[in-house]
Amino acid sequence: MVRQLSATCVWKRSLVLHSVAKIVITKGVETPDPRPFPYAQTINAFEKLPAEMEHPMHPEHPLTLLPIGAPNKSRCDGCDVYLKDLFVHRCSICNFNLDRRCALKAQKIKHESHKHRLSLMSSSASFECHACGTERQGMSYMCDTCSFWIHKDCASLTPTFKHHTHIHTLTLIYPTHEYHSIFAIYNNCNICENSIMEGRFWLYVCIGCNFCIHVNCSTKTKERESAIEVENIDVANLIHLPMADDSISAIDLFLKQISIGDNKREAKLNHFSHHHLLFLFDAQGDNNSFYELNKDKICNACVRKISAPFYSCGQCDFFLHKWCAELPNELEHPCHPHQLILLKEPPEYRGLFRCRGCRYYCNGFRFQTFQCSDYYLDVKCAFLPKAIIHKVHEHPLFLKKDCMTAGCAACPRRVRMFAFGCDNCNFNLHYTCAVLPNTIKHKYDEYHPFTLIYAPIKDGPDEYICEFCEEEIDPKWWFYHCIHCDQSACAKCISTERKEVPNIKWGSTYNSDSHSHRRIYVPMTDKSFNCAYCHRHINSQTLEIDSKCKQCNIMLHPYCPHP
């Protein structure tokens, strides 16, 4: 659904373009920006943009047309390219962005396997794919005229394929009239030896050798490799999730394994990341009053709450976990082909970088590859385990770069973040879902903890309402519930309430090219403000990060320059 902008749209439609300046479109305000304007947009292009749209790449929420306001390093979640337009279609709830090209490009394709055009859509229900014959949810192409479905990844299968079991290149054929005589030649798949089901599904064939394999069997090599990997791992030594309660963080447990077996404890440390001498606090022998004083401090490397043993600076607010002080300078990661290098300062615009593992902005240490200059991992994502055991699945779950195709079994979000999955069973969990604790204590229920629920409760209530957002909860996705008090909570809401999501060390400062004062990162509160630059409304429901200039007593979006 697309709603066109009216003449009374909240943003002015008149653009004045100059060779060395641009007019930033704001809420009824024209604000000069003296920086070079590297591209030209016309009024006609913007008038054609829809004010709001529902898009198959993000079916959870509508996308709203918003002005970017200033150059930034955000990327389009459709094509993964830096945003360069003046406007972006954005879901502020999920921080999901689409540039104009991805938002408006045709969502229909003409595929050789079918006579009608196919529409791209997201399906929350399982369906049988007419290409491979398997059932699963996710992005798919559907025929609006007849009941024809194919998975999005099946639609992208290569027309030719070289399989290790056959000397010749195989050709992809479809059960259409054109290939009817060819299908009549084959009876069984040469890999699984099962029937080809009277030509119902797609095949890879070598006509000259009378050789054919199911589309699914063409990926059996990968499945065998996964099975071998399962056989070789020591399941007993894997971390078993979920954690019993929220007193122990699975992420902190992962990080502590960085330096397992290293008992070397230097009382003083010169670390490359800081210009002052650091001193070790060891809970085994030091005064606990010092720990009590600093227990709410944040590690500058992993941006997690500090815990002993840790190093601290006596002159400034700088802390390092002992294991973070021992991070390797180089890292091989299973989700990226290039070597990653440890760097201490955020490289991105405004002192932040966006981690490819969790999609959160961060101002801690990062691992970067120089072959892909915009690929960054924060410390916690860099050291996620290669495999875990989770009680909801019988097999080990292996770390993978995302689960966009098959979807997450715990939540409906379609985001490119690290996941743990079992390829043989097509089962996946976003890593943020996998680390949810079994129980969470909260002030809303002083007597009982909230318990993680994986499926609708037998003989439970007809509806579940989140105590925080007051929205109805869909019980087919994971959520928290207290059966004694009949109180429920979205997993995201209760985690946000407990301040678990931000990847930012609040109070950190950075230089702004457009202002003489250093700006400071602060968390948003329940109070609402207008950005001093773009004048757009900002509050805790739409943005978790903000910045301010104490000297000028103003609040700004982190990506907006000083007015």
**Domain check: are 450 and 533 in the same one?**
no
**Domain check: are 208 and 275 in the same one?**
no
CA 444, distance to chain mean position in Å, is 29
List residues bridging with 556 in a β-sheet. 547
Q: For residue 396, is it within any domain?
A: no
Q: pTM of the predicted model, to two decimals?
A: 0.58
Q: What per-residue confidence (pLDDT) applies to 522?
A: 62
Half-sphere exposure (Cβ direction) of 198: Cα atoms closer than 13 Å = 0
Half-sphere exposure (Cβ direction) of 190: Cα atoms closer than 13 Å = 16
Q: Which domain holds residue 272?
A: 263-325
Query: What is the tens place of the pLDDT at every residue in 33-50?
Result: 433 333 334 445 555 567
**Domain check: are 131 and 47 in the same one?**
no
Q: For residue 98, is it within any domain?
A: yes
145-154 contacts, C-beta under 8 A, 24 or more apart? 145/116, 146/116, 148/114, 148/116, 148/118, 149/123, 150/111, 150/113, 150/114, 150/118, 151/405, 152/120, 152/405, 153/405, 154/129, 154/202, 154/215
**Domain check: are 468 and 446 in the same one?**
yes
φ/ψ region of 167 (left if φ > 0, alpha if ψ in -120 to 50, else beta) reads: alpha
**Domain check: are 93 and 141 in the same one?**
no
Three-state DSSP state, 415: coil
Number of independent structural domains in the chain? 6
Residue 503 tokens read as 């990847």
**Domain check: are 53 and 76 in the same one?**
yes
Residue 164 has pLDDT above 50, yes or no: yes
Calculate the average pLDDT of the chain.
Answer: 75
Mean pLDDT score, 161-187: 78
**Domain check: are 7 and 95 in the same one?**
yes
Query: What is the tens place of the pLDDT at every residue in 250-264?
Result: 888 888 887 644 566
Tell me which of 399 and 134 has the higher pLDDT. 399
End residue of a domain, out of 325, 345, 377? 325
Q: What per-residue confidence (pLDDT) applies to 379?
A: 94
Residue 500 has pLDDT above 70, yes or no: no
Top mean-pLDDT range of 311-325, 343-357, 379-393, 496-510: 379-393
Q: Tell me which residue of 529, 523, 456 sits closest to 488, measured CA to CA.
A: 456
Residue 21 has pLDDT above 60, yes or no: no
Q: What per-residue confidence (pLDDT) applies to 552?
A: 64
**Domain check: are 118 and 98 in the same one?**
no
Q: What per-residue confidence (pLDDT) applies to 221?
A: 44
Q: Tell me which residue of 431, 419, 302 sits closest to 367, measured CA to CA.
A: 302
Half-sphere exposure (Cβ direction) of 258: Cα atoms closer than 13 Å = 21
Kindly provide the residue ranges of all beta strands, DSSP E only, lying in 68-199, ordered along the sequence: 87-91, 96-98, 108-110, 117-128, 135-143, 149-151, 160-161, 170-173
Q: Tell me which residue of 269, 366, 283 sits closest to 313, measured CA to CA.
A: 269
Kindly provide the residue ranges of all beta strands, DSSP E only, lying in 245-371, ordered along the sequence: 268-269, 278-281, 310-313, 319-321, 330-331, 340-343, 353-354, 361-362, 366-368
Kindly provide the residue ranges of all beta strands, DSSP E only, lying in 260-414, ordered along the sequence: 268-269, 278-281, 310-313, 319-321, 330-331, 340-343, 353-354, 361-362, 366-368, 376-378, 387-390, 397-400
Q: What per-residue confidence (pLDDT) applies to 311?
A: 92
End residue of a domain, out of 297, 325, 353? 325
Three-state DSSP state, 253: helix
**Domain check: are 9 and 83 in the same one?**
yes
Q: Which residue has the tokens 């024209």?
A: 30
Three-state DSSP state, 349: helix
**Domain check: are 121 and 54 in the same one?**
no
Q: CA of 4: how far to CAs of 50, 52, 53, 75, 100, in Å?
A: 4, 7, 9, 24, 14
Q: Tell me which residue of 93, 9, 94, 91 sits closest to 49, measured CA to CA.
A: 9
Distance between CA atoms of residues 65 and 9, nearest Å: 11
**In 510-549, alpha helices (H):** none
Residue 490 tokens read as 């979205």
Residue 397 has pLDDT above 90, yes or no: yes
Cis amide leading into 309 (omega within 30): yes
Q: What per-residue confidence (pLDDT) applies to 153?
A: 77
End residue of a domain, out of 65, 80, 104? 104
Q: For residue 63, is it within any domain?
A: yes
Query: What is the tens place of the pLDDT at every residue in 352-392?
Result: 788 999 988 888 899 998 877 778 999 999 999 999 999 99
Mean pLDDT score, 172-201: 77
**Domain check: are 128 and 42 in the same one?**
no
Percentages of the chain per state (helix, strand, coil), in multiples of 5: 15, 30, 55
Residue 485 has pLDDT above 50, yes or no: yes
Q: What per-residue confidence (pLDDT) applies to 142?
A: 84
Q: Are 90 and 50 in contact (CB under 8 A)?
A: no
Residue 394 tokens read as 């019988």
Top mean-pLDDT range of 378-387, 416-425, 542-551: 378-387
Q: What per-residue confidence (pLDDT) applies to 387?
A: 94
Q: For residue 431, is it within any domain?
A: no
Top mean-pLDDT range of 21-30, 491-500, 515-524: 491-500
Residue 453 has pLDDT above 90, yes or no: yes
Q: For residue 503, is it within any domain?
A: no
**Domain check: are 526 and 543 in the same one?**
yes
Q: CA of 382: how far to CAs of 366, 456, 485, 513, in Å?
A: 8, 34, 39, 31
Q: For residue 376, is it within any domain?
A: no
Q: Are 63 and 103 in contact (CB under 8 A)?
A: yes
DSSP category for residue 432:
H
Q: What per-residue confidence (pLDDT) applies to 317?
A: 85
Mean pLDDT score, 233-243: 85
Q: Which residue has the tokens 């290669």?
A: 386
Mean pLDDT score, 517-534: 65
**In 435-539, alpha helices (H):** 491-497
Residue 408 tokens read as 């997450």
Mean pLDDT score, 186-200: 74
